[in-house]
Amino acid sequence: METLVELIALKRDGGHLTESQIARLIRAHGAGELADYQMSALCMAIFFRGMDDAETVALTRAMLGSGDVIDLSDVPGLKVDKHSTGGVGDKVSLCLAPLVAACGVPVPMVSGRGLGHTGGTLDKLEAIPGFKVTLDVPTFRRIVREVGTCMIGQTDRIAPADKRIYALRDVTATVEAIPLIVASILSKKLAEGIDALVLDVKVGRGAFMKSIEDARALATALVRVGTAAGKDVVALLTDMSAPLGRAVGNANETREALEVLKGGGPADLLECTLALGAEMLVIGGVAADLAAARAELRRAIADGRGAATAEKMIAAQGGDPRVVEDTSRLPRAPHTVEVLAESDGFVAGIDALEVGLASVAMGAGRTRADQAVDHAVGIDLEVARGDEVRRGQPLARLAVRDVAAAAETAARVRAAFRIAPERPAEASLVLERITSRS
């Protein structure tokens, strides 16, 4: 039998690792037989040499098998989750999960925290007074069964190998390796006990994948590997060149997501929610096609079922359900700083990356995993791409703790707006749809 070092060398030299070899490497790392520096070497070898689908499926299964798989067999219906690769202002999960659950598809969701310029679902949920994202598995199962959805963080027993390996990737410049991304995402999602998965792969300045070619490669790999692992998987490529919606922060993003459930919210946020939700209803077997699914989602907004489900989920997870009806119960920093336009024209673009970094600088995000976030601060955009503006008109409003300290952040947000003499052409939010049959 080869030594562990020989297996690392095999991948370094472009060789193929078998399922048993990959499982052995993951087990050895978990047991301490394979040191962190050796796993880092393997990750770098994968970064340069890649993995084929069989290897990536094997890696996903090995990481999945390092912990527990939640049994949701007592929950009726096909269980469907959604995963986003992350972006600026992406609060879709907060309105999507209760809305889809209200339409009859159970949504068990294990989410993450923000890191860098991209926000995290858990941080936004924790802006709700009392909301608990750390629950044991029996409670998670009960809430999914009784409410239709539950949103928690990754536990110590959900793909622990992924948690250890991701920490190494983050500090060894191997985060971008597509096989490692695929195995990381799918191992956590499959551990939820889901039957199907809808993916939102963001592309653009505010996304992890900057080019449509890279986003397409990642989405295609996720669909192929997820399908090979026995799940129904669909991916949408969505634009993240500008922030999604108008709010960037935590409490203010939660506020905006709840407005969608009550029939409001920005058009792009509603469109992203409907596009992903329609895929979930079809793949979950409660709608015949995407048009019928969209109609059902709109009905669930209009008749209040989506908002009612959100209230039930929030109450079940210890939060104050009154925030759904009265979003003023969410925290907001005491001071407002306006960012004003310096010229007349049209909003030709809003740099999502710069807005995201500005929100981090305000305290709404984190640059280290152990940092706390300030749920009350945030950026509210007053205009969107294509809007006409006049000099002196507010482009954005910052909710801040200290007005004097916000001057630099305000300048950064102002610089994120590109004002042009002519209105830009309309752009699509959903760029591509990828399935196993694409």
Catalytic residues: 83, 162, 169, 184, 188
CB 155 within 8 A of CB 148: no
Q: CA distances (Å), 67 to each of 133, 166, 168, 390, in order?
A: 19, 15, 19, 56
CA–CA distance, 109 with 153 (Å, rounded to integer): 8
Looking at residue 372, the DSSP 8-state letter turns out to be -
> Which residue has tokens 């926000």?
119
CB 65 within 8 A of CB 134: no
The number of residues making up the chain comes to: 438
Residue type, 384: A
Looking at residue 327, the DSSP 8-state letter turns out to be G
Centroid of chain to Cα 174: 20
CB 309 within 8 A of CB 101: yes
CA–CA distance, 43 with 175 (Å, rounded to integer): 9
CA–CA distance, 121 with 113 (Å, rounded to integer): 6
Angle among Cα 320, 321, 326 to the nearest 5 degrees reads: 95
> Which residue has tokens 């459930």?
261
Tokens of 244: 């999604």
Q: How far apart are the first and last CA of the chain?
A: 40
CA–CA distance, 257 with 125 (Å, rounded to integer): 11
